[in-house]
Structure 1
């Protein structure tokens, strides 16, 4: 039987990898471009997740991250963690995310699943590493799903990961007919 902590970390890494895969091959403008009415953009999702990991696997367990995150300051602009400034390059944001992984992975390795932590902004702020791991896996998976939809809107690329999209292997015509069928069913619904 696999070690539960290793299994949780594997699922976290799968979601991290999926998140970065959504950036591959796109021009910088597309990575930064807001694709929803609330401004969701691929690079901003990565920046946000870097902050999530540094916070939850850092300060929560008394292990502050290796870098200061200005968008976490009280005087920071709203949603400052959800987009990259002109001064923050793609390489900077991806590098920060990888640095956050290293810090998180060190925390996970150093602590037991039942190690206590504190999330002051949660109503019931007392947590364990197990709780935080599950929370961050859910958060990362959620944002990887956002990234999947945004990426599909950009260039049609969709799915779980390179070589394993989890989508039927059908041609463009099949997909167009499928979407039309869904529209017909939706239009006929009450």
Structure 2
């Protein structure tokens, strides 16, 4: 496999993860995309906002390729490279303010994709970057490793989004054109869930 082919494979998985995450926002109100659905506040738009920073960090900052657009939650300058950890507000990137509309956050994420993709296009897979928050001796990964790390991280958050969306309105599935779920109507799924509940209770009594 050539480097061009390997890059194309990695990018395909990266883009599938991005699109899977954004699809989970479709058809929801501004309220629902912000609803904290777990005890730690996990919400759909917050996951997108978080990944803006993740992609800018790993496919921007790590390789010295900085994003020109200011990002409001990156502090006074709006630039990731100027963020002072001492001044960071915990979890500021995990939820969107009322002023940060879905259109703004999603649009910004798509522009960040373009910036990240340009990094992938410009660099070889063996190009090394510097990740200052990784342990010494492991903090100079290749682009190849960074892409693998990023795909894993986005897919993890896409999985979070799967569960959050199902908790909001019951919608489930991997992609719009392929839900990857067992066939069955609402009654079938209700009976299936009830069966699992019975089995769980039985096992819990053993």
The question of a shared fold, defined as TM-score above 0.5 by the shorter chain, is answered with yes
TM score, norm. by length of structure 1: 0.96
Unaligned runs of 5+ in 1: none
Superposed, 1:6-155 pairs within 5 Å as 6-72=8-74, 73-74=83-84, 75-123=87-135, 124-155=138-169
- Superposed CA RMSD in Å reads 1.2
Give 1:71 deviation, angstroms: 3.2
Superposed, 1:137-176 pairs within 5 Å as 137-176=151-190
Give 1:70 deviation, angstroms: 4.4
Moved more, 63-72 or 144-153: 63-72
- The runs of at least 4 aligned residues of structure 1 exceeding 2 Å deviation read 66-74
Unaligned runs of 5+ in 2: 75-82
Aligned length: 190
Question: What is the CA–CA distance in structure 1 between the aligned matches of 2:69 and 2:160, rounded to whole Å?
Answer: 26
Question: What is the CA–CA distance in structure 2 between the aligned matches of 1:177 and 1:65, rounded to whole Å?
Answer: 50
TM score, norm. by length of structure 2: 0.89
